[in-house]
Structure 1
Amino acid sequence: MPPRRRLLQTADWAFIVVVIAAYVSLFTAAGVAFTPVEVLALVGLGLLYIGIGTYLFENYVLGTAVRIRLLYFGAQFLLAIAITLLAHFSGAFWLLLLPLVSHGAVLFERWGVVTFSALTTLIFGLLIGIPNGWQIGVTAVLSFVPGVVFVVIFTQMAMSEARARSEGERLARDLAEAHAALARYAVQAEELATARERNRLAREIHDSLGHYLTAINVQLEAARALARENPAQALAPLERAQTLTKEGLHEVRRSVAALRASPLEGKALTTVLAALAAECSAAGIATAFTVNGEPRPLSPQVELTLYRTVQEALTNVRKHAQARHAGVTLTYTAQEVRLKVTDDGIGSDMPTSDGFGLVGLRERVQLLGGELRLASEVGAGFELELSLHEG
């Protein structure tokens, strides 16, 4: 429900409760008796007062011209005076005026609120002063003013809170829309990057491998033509085709090597592992990276396996673990290097499940003669330990 609608419903109930309280005081006032006709008239006027102050105010007065607002208050003041006269000025009839003060604070600006509140106070003073004397009327007005001030301030605070909540909800909607748009743009950017990479690879294949294949085909055609008339001369184009084949194979290997460039190239292992831990921390999971022992150069295969293991483990922590903390510990000993990755997430009763995405890592570790151990329990987080012999 919108904050404005919620505020109006609350105001309607407050209006009804105040009028009921005023009527309870009227009918329970000591020494006052009402005829059946007076009771019916009072009840009818009270219901009309409530209907105008709730339904008509909400649907036909709010947001209208000043003339309509003044007509509304004129009608309500006349009803309040009529009820007071019928009640013989008994009970807390002044309660009927407080909802009108609140409505004035809603419909008018600063000086309009002051003027309207003063007018309401004047009407209250007249209703008290005429039957009881002006001295009592002035005293009653002095007691009534704090109530008017309280109602105005409370109404202004409620309106400010409703506006702030409405603005907050609008900003939340705008943020959600911006987030959705950003997600769409990210997908589009990824698709564009993929298309550009495909085009680049197509150009690379056309300019390199296509060139060699075309040249080889020409040499083979020449060799076939010469083979019929002069087989000895056919060897020269075959040798050139073989040379071009070797050059093309070298070019293919160079291109594949460029595509498979190692993330560790030119960087220390501890530096890239610390960067992976920092990425995980930036994703909202506080990740500590610790190095024990003296770091030393390792073989490229061992360093790449350690890197991929940490990368895969932290990726799964972000995706599945629902963890708040994670840790990466790299330990150098004389004969081996050990890696340990832990988290405090929800854990699993199947820590060795292929669903964890570690099949490729197991294969890497086995090829290097190492050991990979996974441990987890439901509610106890996840632990991965890797040891590789590297003297």
Structure 2
Amino acid sequence: MIPWSRAGSPTNPFSAAALGPPAPTDPFWVATLRRWNTVCWVLFGAMALGLATTGGPGPDRYAALALLGCVILSYAVVDRRPHNRVVRPHTYLWVLVLGLGGMAYLRSGYAALFIVTLPHFWLFARTVRASTVFIGLVTGTTLTGRWLQEGWSAEFLSSTLVSTLVVAAVGVLMGLWVRAVVEQSHERARLIGELERAQLQLSEAHQRQGAAEERERMAREIHDTLAQGFASIIVLAEAARAGLPTAPDHSAQQLRSIENTARENLAEARVLVGSAQHSHAAAGSVADTLRRTLDRFAEDTGLAVSAELDDVDCDQPARIALLRCTQESLSNVRKHAAASTVGVVLTRQPFGVELEITDDGRGFVVEESQGFGLVGMRKRLAELGGRLTVTSSVGDGTRVLAVLPMIPEEGEVAVGVAGMS
């Protein structure tokens, strides 16, 4: 049997006391120790049976049986109760040293027990030094016992002395090698544990980063769609209420604008919560989308809007980015600029697409702006490799320039190749 601690984990030659790290739980080591303990118990039983049945009665026979019984009893106590206060692991090793020395003096059949019990000095000693010292002691006691029995005979020198020293040396070398292997196993297990913890922490960090990025994206989408729509609804509702007594037709038109804006907000809300697949806010060409947005803005605010919109072909993310920049800029004009005219220019350049929005309003100090809208526009364009430039000063209006890199169209590529040839 393998010695078991009170906590229920097996103790072995590479225990926490011996090596520092926890004992290995590899099934290979557990199975190996079980087989070795089984061999020990079989050998104990065979030796006890042999001593009891062979040879005539006499003091030597009874003394050998008594020594073997002390060894077996001590091992049984340590094996079953490793924390016994009377028979501790080192006590068992002392009993084993003295018992093997006495049996070497009394009987010649000690050699098998000496070989099989050598691993016990690694099992129960707490340090490499203690294991080596105990192996040296047991080697000395057994040689002393045989020397007292045989004297300095040729057989003792050529057989007993050499074989005992060789077995002891092999036991030390094997113990050191196995200890080094288990220490490496402990180190690998520690590194694997650290790697698993690092991977878990990295995964958690990625999850937190992903959640933060998703929250930021949702906040930007809500600001650029629902919040802008609700702000427009509020302005239109206030204007319609104020104009009902004097301009009912104009108020009715504003109510229709409120209805359209509410429907668009509902559609965007469905997209945000995932009940709709795609937003149709930027469906079609960029020029047509921006023209509809500018017409609605001019109709709702009564401002003069000039537009020069090239028919630019780009993908859906780029169309949405240009539309959101336009909507945010127009919303800022409506809420803050107090402008009378607004100009929007969309052009295709060799390096990409430029969207310029200007107004003749009161302007502001760009460095002091803390609004979420400008930050959102910059991040939205940056995600597509673009940039946003805002130029303004108090009393001189505002210029917003959005630039998006675009892949050259096939015709442009052909022209460029022809020009190089």
TM-score, normalising length from structure 2? 0.45
TM-score, normalising length from structure 1? 0.48
